[in-house]
Amino acid sequence: MSRRHFLKTSALISASVAASGPGIFSVRAQPSRTVPWRIIMAGYGPSSTSFSRGLDFIGETLERRFRNDIELRHIYNISDVGYGGSEDLRWLVDAGILTLAYATMSTGIPELEIAALPFLFPDTATARSVMDGPLGDAAARRIEAETNYRILGFFENGFRHVSNDIRPVYTPDDLRGLSIRLLGIQARTFELLGANPRTMPLAAALPLLEDGTIDGQENPFENTVSYGPYLSQRYHTATFHSYLSRPIFINRVTFDAWPDDLQTEMRMAVRNAVIYQRELHDQAEIDSQNIIRDAGGEIVELTAAQRNEFVTAVAPIYADAKGHYSQELLALVNL
């Protein structure tokens, strides 16, 4: 471990031990009490997001069953204690410093890369059924085979949309030349749409969006509001261009050492938390659009013909996918 990681980890552990009230940490047991199992769950968003509330749901479920045997701590936003986000969450759980977290893991995992293909799913119900079926199972097996995790489920990041502060977007031509902050998994899509992809963490992009260095970004409406990009973005288009999930992962050694009843309860808690988080996300997408409009933003709803222009523009991605992924994997999404 590097000195930088050592110092940050020491600070994290110290903060965890010291926390005893509201704030960065939500403590659900007396910190001075000796208990068999300490569970530290973390994410990378404000406490109000559907993801953070999903963690709350898991914790509350476990506490009802194991109140005297567990000590629960939540770090809603790992950035608040000096870490960078999803990448740091992954190694912190791998090392056993954190117990459980969620994070976007699309790049490098073929099953999740496939799920993120542009305009793959016609609606949310279809996307959920695929992730709840063989594709999600295959993704979990892949991640578990290559990491020190158990995958317990998938929170829904949902469908992504594009925003910018230059002009409304109705067609791919309207994106031409615009610099768009995005996840790396979306770079090829936006190249084909004529934009200038800028891959970077959203936190790093926020000041660049504010001062106009970068024209726009892509995210679900919930994220656009929760993390703040909507404050510098006037034009939003409901493109539904890609669907992403966030695996919920737990340290394998920690989990496997638990008694069977705690393991079973955790799996059930996560399964029900996924349902709860999806319901919250559905409402958050509606509420976030209202917040965007109240702030002076405009939301474009594409017609079927306009959407087909975007689908046609990204068609080369599918030719590439059929030459890159196995037939067995492609068949899981009917390609």
Question: Tens digits of per-residue pLDDT, 45-84?
Answer: 899 999 999 999 999 999 999 988 999 999 999 988 888 7
The phi, psi pair for 105, rounded to 5°, reads -135, 40
The phi, psi pair for 305, rounded to 5°, reads -65, -40
Residue 17 reports pLDDT greater than 50 = no
pLDDT of residue 80: 86
Residue 177 reports pLDDT greater than 90 = yes
Q: What is the residue-averaged pLDDT of the chain?
A: 90
Separation CA 325–CA 327 (nearest Å): 7
Average pLDDT on 81-109 reads 91
| Other C-beta atoms lying within 10 Å of the C-beta of residue 4 | 9
Quick check: helix, strand or coil at residue 42? strand
| Other C-beta atoms lying within 10 Å of the C-beta of residue 307 | 16
Distances in whole angstroms, Cα of residue 234 to Cα of each of 2, 127, 269: 42, 29, 39
pLDDT of residue 295: 97
Tokens of 98: 């954190």
Residues belonging to the chain:
335
Instruction: State the pLDDT confidence band at 218, using cuts at 50, 70 and 90.
Output: very high
Quick check: helix, strand or coil at residue 50? helix
Instruction: State the pLDDT confidence band at 22, using cuts at 50, 70 and 90.
Output: very low
- Cα of first residue to Cα of last residue in the chain, in angstroms, is 43
CB 313 within 8 A of CB 245: no
pLDDT of residue 321: 95
Average pLDDT on 97-104 reads 96
Residue 312 reports pLDDT greater than 80 = yes
Average pLDDT on 220-235 reads 96
pLDDT of residue 331: 95
Tokens of 278: 């999806």
Reported pTM: 0.88
Average pLDDT on 110-121 reads 96
pLDDT of residue 216: 98
Average pLDDT on 153-162 reads 97
| Other C-beta atoms lying within 10 Å of the C-beta of residue 302 | 17
List of domains in the chain = 3-105+147-156+245-279 (3.40.190.10)
